[in-house]
Structure 1
Amino acid sequence: MDLAYLRAHPEHLPTFLLHQRIRETPVGGGVSRLTLDDGTSLFAKSRPSGSAPDGMFAAEAAGLAWLRASGTVPVPEVVAALPGMLATEWVQPGEPTRQAAEEFGRSLALLHRSGADSFGAPWPGYIGPLPLDNTPDTGTWASWFATRRLLPYLRTSADRGSLSESDVTLVERILKTLEEYAVSEPPARIHGDLWPGNLLWAADGRAWLVDPAAHGGHRETDLATLSLFGGVPFLDVILAAYDAEWPLAEGWRARVPLHQLHLLLVHTAAFGDTYQPAVRAAATAVLRA
């Protein structure tokens, strides 16, 4: 099987893997490097039969294609999107550099500026292992963010005991008054899950976007999540290049905790109370702003 054949017949990929007609090198966590007969390498994610949530890989494939269509930030090409597997072009990892960070900051601004028809997206979403309500919404960003991005994961976090009653009360205060903190902008084309692990510094000297939960959202959300969990290398360089390309609204730094709150609640909903202190700290910072 070569790349041309696979593009034409992606449904045959599992059969070729089953019969070891493609060299597969596991790299951990359900991820493999595939080597085709023509020497092409692919990055493949898979789940055991029946274990991938319905539509999870389709959502990621749609998001990758939508981001890539902007012609701005480097995004891997989707080669095969199947119910239990996603295969994309292989991007050779490299080291972060200042030049790559500057280029990424400018390109991210252009990606965001390419826009979206509404908040949300035309496809059902996933963020990590959890569903993401992408129902298109042409209302205000504050209302959409509260109802589609904060409330569902607050409820799940509370139901599984990942947050205390007082934590829930803090976030509920933000939900009721979110219009006070928000700065309205038209929907931007965003990655949607842009923590540092989803920015791939590549050997080609560029930074690539991977593993998106892409949708129309607020551009400040992508920028805020880049600083989570230790932050990306050269974050200040990225932000300066971004702001030079498309200046941010006044006071955006004070809104960082608000935009981080969504992804932090996703973590308490999916992974438990390890992330509870981060949710509480972010919520407290929002209310003090």
Structure 2
Amino acid sequence: MSGLARHAADLLGVPLAEARPMAGGDLSQCLHLRLEDGREAVAKTGPAPREEARMLAALAAAGAPAPAVLAVDETALVLECLPDTGAGPGAEADLGRVVARLHAAEGGRYGWPADYAFGPVVIANGWSDDWPAFWAERRLLCHAGHLPAPLIRRIETLARDLENRLPRRPRPALLHGDLWGGNVLYAGNRVSGLIDPACYHGHAEVDLAMLSLFGRPGPAFRETYGASEPGAAERAPIYKLWPALVHWRLFGDGYRGMVEGFLEMAGA
């Protein structure tokens, strides 16, 4: 039995019958647990388990499906095991409804009460009242020193022009923050859970851009989510640039082409 499995059982106060690795886990260890009382759970590590627990609570409070937190401490999180049987024909429409409900939850400013991380890549979430400045400083310029200087110069040029590219004060929607397909669980025609959040308050288009980074939801999603804001297509590569930069830093030069492609699409 792994150390994480033993620790999760101790946190729950229930003997463990079985633990097995789950798919994914590029940045954290994740186990499926079967407890001796018949229940199932998910145990995972992460950059800040207590902060992730607060983010999951925020998703649930907004009316989005999210796993309940069964136990948490500074090193591990134990979660409800949600159904994950695959997407049915009505699932994309339900995802549109779920994301719209999430984005209807509004904050007073842009950011989050604490910083977070994707592995070694810090996600700075300090509060701001200026959305273009938040995106420039906390999502783009923060990569200086970690990537080639010529590319950083292009990012700096783009960052200086964001006040002309992004709305200054969009509604500060509650964002999932890492809303790609792998972080959405389906059970038939419904979304059973949003997992692995990196929440903060910001422009809703950030989540929509992330959702189309490695695929694209069909028209049923847009029908239930709502119409695009004017200029969304021009802003999308600016918002996709951040996760592309994070992937390059985490996983290597294979993502350089993606980064350069979004810079070109953004005219930088």
Which residue pairs with 1:104 in the alignment? 95
TM-score, normalised relative to structure 2: 0.87
1:77, 1:89 within 8 Å by CA — same for their partners in 2?
Answer: yes
Q: Distance in 2 between matches of 1:209 and 1:175?
A: 31
Distance 1:114 1:269, change over 3 A: same
Determine the structure 2 residue equivalent to 1:279: 259
Give 1:251 deviation, angstroms: 2.0
TM-fit CA distance, 1:42? 0.8
Q: Could you tell me which residue of structure 1 aligns to residue 15 of structure 2?
A: 21
The structural deviation recorded for 1:166 is 2.8
Cα drift, residue 16 of structure 1: 7.0
CA distance in 1, matches of 2:121, 2:83: 28
**Is residue 202–residue 208 contact of structure 1 (8 Å, CA) maintained in 2?**
no
- Which residue identity is paired with 2:158? I
Determine helix, strand or coil for the equivalent of 2:201: strand
1:212 aligns with 2:197: yes
Please say which of residues 217-226 and 177-186 is displaced more in the overlay.
177-186
Corresponding residue to 1:116 among 107, 119, 122:
107
**Cα RMSD over matched residues?**
2.4
Q: Are residue 172 (structure 1) and residue 161 (structure 2) matched?
A: no
1:54-133, aligned counterparts within 5 Å? 56-71=48-63, 73-133=64-124
Aligned length, in residue pairs = 257
Counterpart of 2:40? Answer: 41
In structure 1, C-alpha distance between the alignment counterparts of 2:65 and 2:120, rounded to whole Å:
24
Conserved in 1, the CA contact under 8 Å of 2:70 and 2:79?
yes
Partner of 1:5: none
The 1:203/1:76 distance shift into structure 2, 3 A limit, reads farther
Question: Distance between the aligned counterparts of 2:117 and 2:218, measured in 1?
Answer: 26
Deviation at 1:274, TM superposition (A): 1.5
Deviates more, 1:95-104 or 1:27-36: 27-36
The one-letter code of the counterpart of 2:157 is: R
User: Could you tell me how far 1:204 is from its partner in structure 2?
Assistant: 7.3
Distance 1:282 1:181 in 2: 14
Aligned mates of 2:132, 2:152 — CA distance in 1: 19
Moved more, 167-176 or 203-212: 203-212
Name the amino acid aligned to 2:232: W
The 2-side partners of 1:92 and 1:140 are apart by 40
The counterpart of 2:222, out of the listed 216, 235, 239, is 239
In structure 2, what residue type is equivalent to 1:198? N
Q: Distance in 2 between matches of 1:156 and 1:41?
A: 44
**Is the CA contact 2:82–2:192 (under 8 Å) kept in the aligned structure 1?**
no
Alpha-carbon separation, structure 1, partners of 2:119 and 2:88: 28
Per-residue deviation at 1:263? 0.9
**SS in structure 2 of the partner of residue 287 of structure 1:** coil
Q: Equivalent residue for 1:193?
A: 178
Q: Distance in 2 between matches of 1:34 and 1:249?
A: 43
The alpha-carbon deviation at position 207 of structure 1 amounts to: 4.7
User: Quick one: structure 1 residues 98 and 117, their matched pair in 2 at CA, closer, same or farther if it must change by over 3 Å?
Assistant: farther
The 8 Å contact of residues 91 and 190 in structure 2, kept in 1 or not, is answered as: yes
In 1, distance between residues paired with 2:193 and 2:65?
5
- Runs of 4 or more consecutive aligned structure 1 residues displaced over 4 Å after TM superposition: none
Structure 2 vs 1, CA of residues 20 and 242 (structure 1 numbering), >3 Å: closer, same or farther?
Answer: closer
| Distance apart, 1:135 and its partner CA | 1.5
Does the C-alpha gap of structure 1 residues 20 and 76 become closer, same or farther in structure 2, counting only changes over 3 Å?
Answer: closer
Asked whether the equivalents of residues 179 and 210 of structure 2 are also in contact (C-alpha less than 8 Å), the reply is: yes
TM-score by length of 1: 0.81
